Amino acid sequence: MSEIILLSDPAVAAVPVAECGEPLVDLRTVRALRMDDRFAGADGAYARVRLGVADRLVNAQTLLPAGIRLLVLEGHRPAAAQERLFAAAVARLRAERPDADDAWLRGAAAVHHAPPALAPHVTGGAVDLTLVGRDGAPLWMGSLVHDPDPAHCPTGCDGVVGDARGHRDLLTGAMRRAGLVNYAAQWWHWSYGDRYWAHLTGAPAARYGEVS
């Protein structure tokens, strides 16, 4: 498994943002896609993504075998919600490592919960998603989305084999061909237009900044 570039990497933070003004769209209105409401909030933000992301998800769906569907769990996450997740992750680590300094705690927390200033979800450019089969049941991907045990969460984890590896490869192939990039620490996290996408693809600037 290759080295993972973190969402909080200084090279990612250095990418400029050239906000394009693209609107958010509600994926619940996109017939080609399926939404899961486990992360739903009262404001419905979880179901919204930038238009360019929605278009690429529809394209990715066409690249999957018949009977296999994308299931989107979360798109846009407001900055306040991201801040709560990040702060909670820091607090958990502080309880486990009371002698660790703040810099270490924030760095360790950022592996799975990006600080709000760099989080792809706050731009509307990121999605967490999985695959479901003909019966609508999720396919086994080797770990759960946001699994509390991170051992098998990295996309290229050597311990993920058999059907789970095949399912990950299906998802990865379709999403990459559709123009999205993966955060390699989390097989379910894909983005387009944000700083992370720009860094991985060599784009001169991100297309999306924070959106409310």
Distance, C-alpha 42 to centroid of its chain: 21
pLDDT tens digits for range 147-203: 989 999 999 999 999 999 999 999 999 999 999 999 999 999 999 999 999 999 999
CA distance 171 to 159: 17
pLDDT of residue 112: 80
pLDDT of residue 34: 96
pLDDT of residue 115: 87
- State the Rg of the chain over Cα: 17
pLDDT tens digits for range 6-35: 999 999 999 999 999 999 999 999 999 999
Task: Report, as an integer, the average pLDDT of 51-60.
Answer: 99
Distance, C-alpha 172 to centroid of its chain: 13
Ramachandran class of 197: left when φ > 0, alpha when ψ lies in -120 to 50, beta otherwise = alpha
pLDDT of residue 1: 62
210 SS3 class: coil
pLDDT of residue 202: 98
pLDDT tens digits for range 72-130: 999 999 999 888 988 888 888 899 898 988 888 888 887 888 888 899 999 999 999 99
Which tokens sit at 82? 């991201």
Q: Which residue has the higher pLDDT, 83 or 1?
A: 83
Task: Report, as an integer, the average pLDDT of 27-47.
Answer: 92
Answer whether 149's CB lies under 8 Å from 155's CB.
no
CA distance 69 to 139: 10
pLDDT of residue 148: 86
pLDDT of residue 75: 97
Domains and CATH numbers, the chain: 10-83+114-201 (3.30.1380.10)
CA distance 76 to 60: 19
Which residues are registered as beta bridge partners of 181?
191
pLDDT of residue 41: 82
Burial of 42 (0-12, 13-18, 19+ CB in 10 A): exposed
